[in-house]
Chains A and B, each alone.
Chain A
């Protein structure tokens, strides 16, 4: 589903002394099937932004369009439930939303609410358990007996079991160990490719954004600060520093390399291996002539 924000503002506790504008005149477009990273410092409006994507927040001003759904301050869609079945949101620390007696029941909770048949749910659970890296032996256990990482996987399976077309991820790897982080991001990326999802990733990790996203939106104090392809955005060191963000390690490395050896390698979202090859090329090339 295409997602469009047009001059969207969101004000918390309007008309009180505590009124606070969390999102301010924000406009962007996310084409169906893309992988977008939303980056910003704490308090930049990321969390408020993603709540607009499934109608948890209704814009105070401006309009949000998600597929055929249209959200403005005076017009809420009647079929909000359908919107929520098509946009899945994995919130920060999703393990906090677990409540059922068994893992299986908890994963089935979402699809049951959206009226998916029992057989279909069972089939989905069978497919999902290996996909999120759990074993079927856990299905009958209580989710509260699991480890933190396993709980997170169960919660994510619960969102994926609804089979959303748009997947919103709010720092899905926060608090996991490095290996778990990598596995989880790889899993989301595979799902994104296999099922043609539109994925929106809120993250602090420039590395993840470079690796997976094909479009980057940088927020600062509720407004859009920068937008574009990762290879265009992430080389603007000064502009990023201004909003307390850093360039990805890879770009830092290429900058250092250029300073030290006087040779520049353009940043094109290469993998570490590709960069190593280019360096090898330069070093060998320098030896030969």
Chain B
């Protein structure tokens, strides 16, 4: 199984962040993504970083685990930093190396942009780490509800989402199982020239598609057998409810936004 990619992997817990209503979390992260781009000086960046780090500590997801999950994006963050270092020509000259000139503006810009990246990824992965996919789907269905007025198939979309999310682990298991079986028959997925490795994918993909189609058919049949007819008049097992803690967090987040607007002009 892929050990490095943690986006979409839920870590069970009982923390405040886990218990928040998923709609609260999605709303806050939605706005967080915007306000990250409003930060323009050290104080405003510190404010946002404190907010993000505080959420991370409160969630009690092991830090080592989050950092490991960030490994695929470290490259992007570092690359952005270096790019700004070379390209931005503002502020005072620090030193020049043959044709390259490094300016203070480059360092500051590079740092700021990488920080934005870091904060964005930290917050979004925190959402998926502390919220089950089912909760996220429920929240999205609820939040898109107004679109029903314009005949947008909200329920069907949510159902599609939860079915696909539900079958990701199943498909991953299936992939692993079939790749083990084919590896036992002498397929080499890991070494050899690229052309050979591309060919090795066929014995993996064909059985995977066959079983995915078969499973989809069986699922459709099972749903019909249990009287599924779509969203009309369907009640919910898990009702989403806004609690006091959600309101508290909204207020806190509003303070952060206000603080940000205030500190922008420092």
Contacts and interface: CB of A to CB of B under 8 A. Distances in A.
B65 A16 contact: yes
B177 A56 contact: no
Given A13-B1, A97-B207, A99-B202, A91 B186 contact: no
A96 B181 contact: yes
Given A17-B11, A17-B65, A97-B182, A109 B203 contact: yes
Interface string B188-212: 1000000000000011001100110
Contact of B186 (A84, A94, A97, A99): A84
A44 interface: no
Which of A13, A56, A94, A144 has most B Cβ within 10 Å?
A56
Nearest to A12: B1
A109 B203 CA distance: 10
A96 B211 contact: yes
A96 B3 contact: no
A96 B65 contact: no
Nearest to A91: B181
B180 interface: yes
Given A84-B185, A96-B181, 18 more contacts: A16-B3, A16-B65, A56-B180, A56-B183, A56-B184, A84-B183, A85-B186, A91-B177, A96-B178, A96-B207, A97-B178, A97-B182, A98-B207, A99-B207, A110-B185, A158-B185, A159-B184, A162-B185
A162 B186 contact: yes
Interface string A81-115: 10011001101001011110000000001101110
A203 interface: no
A270 B207 CA distance: 43
Interface of A: 12-13, 16-17, 51, 54, 56, 81, 84-85, 88-89, 91, 94, 96-99, 109-110, 112-114, 144, 158-159, 162
Contacts of B188: 81
A117 to B, nearest CB: 15
Which of A12, A16, A81 has most B Cβ within 10 Å?
A16
Given A13-B1, A96-B207, A159 B178 contact: no
Interface string B56-77: 0000001001001000000000
B185 A97 contact: yes
Contacts of B181: 89, 91, 94, 96-97
14 contacts: A12-B1, A16-B65, A56-B184, A81-B186, A84-B186, A91-B184, A97-B185, A99-B206, A99-B207, A110-B186, A113-B187, A158-B185, A159-B185, A162-B185
Nearest to A99: B206
A113 B3 contact: no
A114 B186 contact: yes
A84 B62 CA distance: 39
A159 B184 CA distance: 9
A98 B185 CA distance: 11
A78 to B, nearest CB: 11
A144 B209 CA distance: 12
Interface in B145-192: 174, 177-178, 180-188
A91 B185 contact: no
A198 to B, nearest CB: 16
A183 B11 CA distance: 47
Given A96-B178, A97-B207, A89 B184 contact: yes
Contacts of B178: 96-97
Given A99-B203, A110-B185, A114-B186, A91 B180 contact: yes
Contacts of B207: 96-99
A88 B202 contact: no
Contacts of A109: 185, 203
B210 to A, nearest CB: 7
A76 to B, nearest CB: 11
Contacts of B187: 113
Contacts of A159: 184-185
Contacts of A85: 186
A83 to B, nearest CB: 10
Contacts of B1: 12-13
B171 to A, nearest CB: 13
A16 B10 CA distance: 12
